[in-house]
Amino acid sequence: MARKAVGNQGKQEEIIAAARACFFEKGYDGTTIRSIMKRAGAEVGLFYYYFDSKDAIFDQVLDSFFAGYQIQFAKIVRRTYRDPYRGMTSFFDYMRKETEAFRRRYGNQMHWTVRMAIRERTLTIIAPYIRETLDFLVTLGAKPPMNLEVASILLAHGIGSTLLHEDSDWAKTNGADIRKASNLIMGLDPERGNIMLPDWATQQDAAAITALAACQKQYFPGFDEKEFADQIERRIELQVQPEILVIRHKGQAVGCIAFSREQREIEFLAVSPQWKRQGIGDRLLVTAISEFEVGTLLSVVTYREEDEHGTAARTLYQKVGFEPGELLEVCGYPCQKLILNVPDGVPGIMKNV
């Protein structure tokens, strides 16, 4: 039977809040409609004005509990349309952090039956968001070795369930194997999956970043190795918001991009010679661009069109939509500024995820 039109939305919310307190404290079986209404300060008969049964209000409690999380899940998926290479890791990183916060907040204060219900509801909720992310990655060239519905369920109930059930130390310790499992489900080579995933640089990457630049210094006007190394270490140490991304293989940085949020520019991009033509530069550049607001005029300086030192860089920048800007000189070298109006989506034609 359909519910009557609700006359007092505020009272309905009071009853849901009271039910939430009762369910969290005593569990589903230990909570009665009478106890809910007593806590809400209302007559039992009023309950049936808003709800059909205890099951119905329990569902409402879970819906209200997950409302904020679902907003965040949707934001992460929307961001994937600009930042595809970190989409899945961002989703599970958010889950891991919120699971830790949940445990800190509720500890043993929540009845175990409700905790289990929340875990099960979480897995049901996240599967469609994961499926939407997979659908988009497939349009960019990803090739999961199975039906996408199956892949999304495996990721939700495999990776998601692991994050929900295991403690945070276990998840951190086994993070590499968790990512490897995710890569397998998404159809990525387990040994090369990490070259698909840009990550923020740490001090452990500083020496490798300097080495990347030094072995290709002919592409960077006025390059000074010591000065560069000092700047990289200082920026990684002092940065409030990170501005240096790396892609690693077996723990070693094989590609790096640095950018300035304040100056709105790409400052440095280099890929190890042994890892050229693997799409590393593309992934780093697209990910860095996603850190800027849509509509930002983003710039990069490279060699001029007639200079062979700038051929590869110009090709990459123009591929994602940078257009020629003013001519200038850097340390006495003829260069040119290229400009990109940051789009709402993946810039350029990116075929290889």
3-state secondary structure 44-79: HHHHHHHCCCHHHHHHHHHHHHHHHHHHHHHHHHHH
Quick one: which of 117, 138, 128 has its CA closest to 91?
Answer: 128
- Per-residue pLDDT band for 349 (boundaries 50, 70, 90) equals low
Edge-to-edge strand order for the sheet containing 323-330? 199-200, 244-249, 252-260, 265-271, 297-303, 333-341, 323-330
Which run of H or E residues covers position 253?
strand 252-260
- Per-residue pLDDT band for 190 (boundaries 50, 70, 90) equals low
pLDDT at 108: 80
What is the spatial distance between Cα 74 and Cα 234, in angstroms, rounded to a whole number? 35
pLDDT at 77: 94
What is the spatial distance between Cα 231 and Cα 238, in angstroms, rounded to a whole number? 10
Q: Which residue has the tokens 């990910």?
A: 287
pLDDT at 38 over 70: yes
pTM for the full predicted model = 0.83
Q: What separation in angstroms does the CA of 323 have from each of 30, 139, 219? A: 66, 25, 20
Higher pLDDT, 352 or 233: 233
Q: What is the pLDDT of residues 42-87, one digit of tens each?
A: 999 999 999 999 999 999 999 999 999 999 999 999 999 999 989 8
Give the residue-averaged pLDDT of 21-30: 95
Which residues, at least 6 apart from 244, have a Cβ–Cβ distance to it below 8 Å? 200, 201, 205, 209, 232, 235, 236, 256, 257, 258
What is the spatial distance between Cα 155 and Cα 187, in angstroms, rounded to a whole number? 12
pLDDT at 1: 41
pLDDT at 301: 93
Q: What is the pLDDT of residues 236-274, one digit of tens each?
A: 988 788 999 999 988 889 999 999 999 999 999 999 988
DSSP state for residue 5 in the 8-state scheme: P
Percent of the chain with pLDDT over 70: 92
Pick the range with the lowest mean pLDDT from 154-158, 192-196, 237-241, 310-314. 192-196
Residues 78 and 46 sit within 8 Å (Cβ to Cβ) = no
101-104: long-range contacts, CB 8 A cutoff, minimum separation 24: 103/168
pLDDT at 10: 79
Residue 200 CB coordination number (10 Å): 13
Q: What separation in angstroms does the CA of 220 have from each of 108, 132, 329? A: 57, 40, 12
How do the domains of the chain map onto residue ranges? 78-190, 195-341
Q: What separation in angstroms does the CA of 96 have from each of 34, 80, 160, 328? A: 37, 18, 9, 47
pLDDT at 187: 74
pLDDT at 175: 67
Q: Which fold has domain 195-341?
A: Aminopeptidase (3.40.630)
Give the residue-averaged pLDDT of 107-129: 92
pLDDT at 162 over 90: no
- Per-residue pLDDT band for 282 (boundaries 50, 70, 90) equals very high
Give the residue-averaged pLDDT of 26-33: 95
Quick one: which of 278, 248, 275, 256 has its CA closest to 210?
Answer: 256
